[in-house]
Amino acid sequence: MLIMASAAIALLPFRYAIRLGSVPLGKERISMADCLWAIEAVSRRLPWPTACIEKGLVAQRLLRGSGLDALLHYGARQEANELEAHVWVTVDGQAVIGGEEAKSFAAIAVYP
């Protein structure tokens, strides 16, 4: 899925790429810990670096497929005359991926 997320981010307009993670809540039961471990394990093995948006899209899709109401947050901040963006995912109000960096970003949009 990280490969698909990387391709979507590189090739599609944002409004289409963001739909990758937004799926109906499913019934498949995968633990949150296993889901997050898998994302990091695959990310380390890809021949290119993965960004927070790719990891966030995959985390949201896997967690929602497992029946968890995962929300993808898109935020931005001004840093040294440059605009920086960051993506993080929350479940029940708690950040599950990308949360440490999220503290310094202002949320712009939330995607179910």
Give the pLDDT confidence of 20-55 residue by residue, as tens digits. Answer: 666 666 677 778 888 889 899 999 999 989 999 999
105: domain range?
2-111
pLDDT at position 20: 67
Element (H, E) at 90: strand 82-91
Neighbours of 33 (CB within 10 A): 9
Which phi and psi (to 5°) does residue 66 adopt? Answer: -90, 5
Q: Which residues pair with 79 in a beta bridge?
A: 82
Task: Give the count of domains, the chain.
Answer: 1
